[in-house]
Amino acid sequence: MHNIRIQLAESEGALVRLLSNIERRGFIIESLHKTAAQNGVTDIAARITPRGERSLDVLTRQLSRLFDVMDVHTPMPAHMASHAMPPGEPSCRQPQ
Amino acid sequence: MTALPAAELDAHSRPLMTGAQAVVRTLEDLGVRRIFGYPGGAIMPVYDALVGSKLEHILVRHEQAASFAADAQARLTGKAGVCLATSGPGATNLLTGIANAYMDSVPMVILTGQVPSTLMGTDAFQEVDVFGMSLPVVKHSMIVRRAEDIPATIREAFEIAEEGRPGPVLVDLPKDTLQASMAFETAMSASTPAPSRASDDSIEEALSLLRAARRPVLYMGGGIALGHAVEAARDFMARTGIPTVATLKAIGCAHPDAQNYLGMLGMHGTRAANMAVQESDLLICCGARFDDRATGKPDQFAPHARIIHMDLDNAEIGKLRGVDAAIRGDLQDALARLDAGYLAIDSWRTLCRNRKQEFAFSYDAPGSGIYAPGLLKELSETAGDDFIAACDVGQHQMWVAQHCRFARPENHLTSAGLGAMGYGLPAGIGAALERPDSKVVTVTGDGSIMMNIQELATARRYGVPIRILLLDNASLGLVRQWQELFFDQNFSEIDLYDNPDFAEVARSFGVEAFTIHSRDEVPGAIERLLNATGPILAHCLIDPRENVWPLVPPGKSNAEMMED
């Protein structure tokens, strides 16, 4: 389980875009808190769990590139959050 | 007309117009020349405003074709392609094309009509939540709630679509905002910020890996063309002599005659390319994303290699493979700075070159039937550097990737990430409209062409100089190949024995067409295709048993290639 905090512009569809990205990239949203917007900005705090071997570090960067997302913060140190994936290792194994 | 008479100004001397007129005027101001679309109820105000505008509107016969044609134009120009459709079914028909652009990072602006704001959310006639439906396949999207926001929103859509890693941006336009009156202010030209520059530390880190490597391989991806880094990549190849492989999207990045270019890697890649990657001790991934079709079994991909990953999109670093050095930023700049001096890799380079020769494709297929790989090779070589292929999806797509010669990556239009059958014909139309003097050839199959065959009418209407090479094996060939190889020859729903006579179909649309059956007809067919000035279709009957080789079986390592 990871804690993640996101600063989000309060624009139409921003929240659903953010949440659908978290789920689509392989994380379960265990709990969620959203503040009322102040000056057009809202704070989201969530506890999320990866469904498989997914890196929180990669998710953080995937969320950061969304245009409504102003900041992403993971209280856990990045090297722990990313499952300390050693260089050269595949980070996602999908049997096909 | 796009603007009301000059007398109708507001108190600040701004022209008064409707939201729909503002849409058209903004597109004109942003320098858009051509849009692809199909009218319908909610978008009718925009179609009303299009009459007399400077925009060239291409009427397709299915909205999906509008999105594919806009995609192809964008790939050729690097500027956002524009497609337009109405709400509901018009918008849903665009979705495949939007997903295609998203998967291949193509800049596109999608304008959809929407039911009036007051009816949104009430299940009104032709209402779908296209904003919600497209969320996973757009770079960004907006719903315009006020007419006066239209110019700035559309300008922003172009900026977002084209900046950084490009992608599709959807703007949903409720009908009431299109009909409302507003005071127009010109949207300033869309400006995209310069891409970020990789840090000195990351370059130094990569250089030390490069100097220590004895078996390095450059793994080129579509980001090289998107990042205008083709010349920088070719310079890097020439400077270092590093053996190089390309993804499907990066074909054409290396000069086709470059000695150290080993071809495409992955499932249908060359043996020389896959062996080089598997044996490498350093893989320089440049603008690629370790897609499963390129890597095969991920934990056995380049198992001995350290990884340098270069990408403008920070989110790609480490997504599927851990890295030893990450270069985040502009690829053109980073490749130029990656100058390691002399590399002691002569024996490795020689080994790779020898394998390239040893495993080169052979074109001496027995029999007198048309051999598609040979035909495609001859076609592209005859057409020369102006050859542009718009591929559909299937065996023919892989044969184009393996056997055609491309002078530039933009000249190879292919639905790489999505693998969308139906792309070829509308993409060819978009390409031939943009580059009428090039040799634009849609390479398609009897399965794929039926997914958008109605676009023959578009090609005919506008006299588009598109050559359609239809490789007809009377089956869904790639599915048939997999059923033969991996499903115990349990052939299921792949037999297209009752196809129509495609030449007759084309002629009924008013498109010139002919059919060939044997290999000795190929040179004449190529000449006739390339000399055509309007739409033309060559219907080529090929052996249904022909397969694409080599092949890495699904779920296997790239070291386990199957050959014929």
Q: Which residue of B has its CA nearest to A63?
A: B315
* A86 touching chain B per CB within 8 A: yes
Q: Given this model, what pLDDT does residue B12 score?
A: 86
Q: Do B292 and A64 touch (CB under 8 A)?
A: no
Residues of chain B contacting residue A17, judged by C-beta atoms under 8 Å apart: 135
Is B422 within a domain? yes
pLDDT band at A53 (very low <50, low <70, confident <90, very high): confident
Q: Do B306 and A12 touch (CB under 8 A)?
A: no
Is A92 within a domain? no
Is residue B214 located within the same domain as residue B256? yes
Nearest beta carbon to residue B322 from set A12, A67, A86: A86
Is B9 within a domain? no
- Identify the residue among B319, B323, B482, B557 best suited for mutation to test binding to A, counting A beta carbons within 10 A and taking the highest: B319
Looking at the complex, report in whole angstroms how far the Cα of residue B509 sits from the nearest Cα belonging to chain A.
Answer: 42
Q: Given this model, what pLDDT does residue A95 score?
A: 35
Q: Which residue has the tokens 């497209």?
A: B134
Q: Which residue of A has its CA nearest to B145?
A: A12
CATH code of the domain covering residue B237: 3.40.50.1220
CATH code of the domain covering residue A27: 3.30.70.260
Q: Which residue of B has its CA nearest to A56?
A: B319
CA B265 to each of CA B217, B244, B371, B397: distance values in angstroms, whole numbers, following the listed order: 11, 10, 23, 15
Is residue B204 located within the same domain as residue B351? yes
Q: pTM of this prediction?
A: 0.95
Q: Given this model, what pLDDT does residue B413 score?
A: 98
H or E segment at B96? Answer: helix B89-103
Is residue B208 located within the same domain as residue B349? yes
Q: Given this model, what pLDDT does residue B503 score?
A: 98
Is A93 within a domain? no
- What dihedral angle (degrees, nearest 10) is formed by the CA atoms of A82, A88, A92, A95? -160
Q: Specify the number of domains making up chain B.
A: 3
Cα separation, B453 vs B500, whole angstroms: 12
How many helices (H) and strands (E) chain A has is answered by 3, 4
CA B369 to each of CA B148, B237, B377, B557: distance values in angstroms, whole numbers, following the listed order: 63, 39, 16, 34
* B314 touching chain A per CB within 8 A: yes
Is residue B57 located within the same domain as residue B150? yes
Q: Do B555 and A96 touch (CB under 8 A)?
A: yes
Nearest beta carbon to residue A13 from set B141, B313, B555: B141
Q: Which of B460, B454, B449, B467 is nearest to B510 (CA)?
A: B460
Residues of chain A contacting residue B142, judged by C-beta atoms under 8 Å apart: 12
Is residue B145 located within the same domain as residue B277? no
Is B10 within a domain? no
Is residue B94 located within the same domain as residue B179? yes
Is residue B478 located within the same domain as residue B409? yes
Q: Which of B299, B325, B295, B321 is nearest to B310 (CA)?
A: B325
Q: Do A90 and B318 touch (CB under 8 A)?
A: no
* B326 touching chain A per CB within 8 A: no
Is A68 within a domain? yes
Is residue B330 located within the same domain as residue B413? no
What ipTM was predicted for this assembly? 0.93
* B135 touching chain A per CB within 8 A: yes
Is residue B342 located within the same domain as residue B413? no
Looking at the complex, report in whole angstroms how far the Cα of residue A96 sits from the nearest Cα belonging to chain B.
Answer: 5
Residues of chain A contacting residue B136, judged by C-beta atoms under 8 Å apart: 20, 24
Q: Given this model, what pLDDT does residue B230 score?
A: 98
Is B294 within a domain? yes
Is A88 within a domain? no
Q: Residue B90, CB half-sphere, CA atoms under 13 Å: how many? A: 28
* A31 touching chain B per CB within 8 A: no
The strand order across the sheet containing A41-50 reads A27-34, A41-50, A2-9, A69-73
- Which residue range is the domain that position B39 belongs to? 16-183
Is B45 within a domain? yes
SS3 B131: helix
CB environment B74-102: b (16+ within 10 A), e (fewer): bbbeebbbbbbbbbbebbbbbbbbbbbbb
* B301 touching chain A per CB within 8 A: yes
**Long-range pairs for B77-81: beta carbons < 8 A, 24 or more residues apart:** B77/B434, B78/B107, B78/B162, B78/B226, B78/B228, B78/B410, B79/B107, B79/B162, B80/B107, B80/B108, B80/B109, B80/B157, B80/B158, B80/B161, B80/B162, B80/B166, B80/B169, B81/B36, B81/B106, B81/B107, B81/B108, B81/B109, B81/B430
Cα separation, B434 vs B428, whole angstroms: 10
* A12 touching chain B per CB within 8 A: yes
Is residue B342 located within the same domain as residue B453? no
Say whether the peptide bond before residue B550 is cis (omega within 30 degrees of 0): yes
Q: Given this model, what pLDDT does residue A93 score?
A: 38
CATH code of the domain covering residue B159: 3.40.50.970
Looking at the complex, report in whole angstroms how far the Cα of residue B290 sits from the nearest Cα belonging to chain A.
Answer: 10
Is residue B151 located within the same domain as residue B249? no
Q: What is the DSSP letter of B475?
A: B
Q: Which of B137, B157, B183 delimits the end of a domain?
A: B183
Q: Do A86 and B314 touch (CB under 8 A)?
A: no
Tokens representing residue B55 in the block: 């925009």
pLDDT at residue A13 tops 90:
yes
Q: Do A85 and B322 touch (CB under 8 A)?
A: yes
User: pLDDT tens, position by position, for chain B (564 residues)?
Assistant: 454 455 588 888 899 999 999 999 999 999 999 999 999 999 999 999 999 999 999 999 999 999 999 999 999 999 999 999 999 999 999 999 999 999 999 999 999 999 999 999 999 999 999 999 999 999 999 999 999 999 999 999 999 999 999 999 999 999 999 999 999 988 777 788 889 999 999 999 999 999 999 999 999 999 999 999 999 999 999 999 999 999 999 999 999 999 999 999 999 999 999 999 999 999 999 999 999 999 999 899 999 999 999 999 999 999 999 999 999 999 999 999 999 999 999 999 999 999 999 999 999 999 999 999 999 999 999 999 999 999 999 999 999 999 999 999 999 999 999 999 999 999 999 999 999 999 999 999 999 999 999 999 999 999 999 999 999 999 999 999 999 999 999 999 999 999 999 999 999 999 999 999 999 999 999 999 999 999 999 999 999 999 999 999 999 999 999 988
What is the interface size between A and B, counted as CB pairs within 8 Å?
75
Is B449 within a domain? yes
- Which residue range is the domain that position A9 belongs to? 2-81
Is A90 within a domain? no
Is residue B354 located within the same domain as residue B376? no
CA B74 to each of CA B3, B87, B109, B407, B435: distance values in angstroms, whole numbers, following the listed order: 28, 23, 10, 18, 12
Q: Specify the number of domains making up chain A.
A: 1
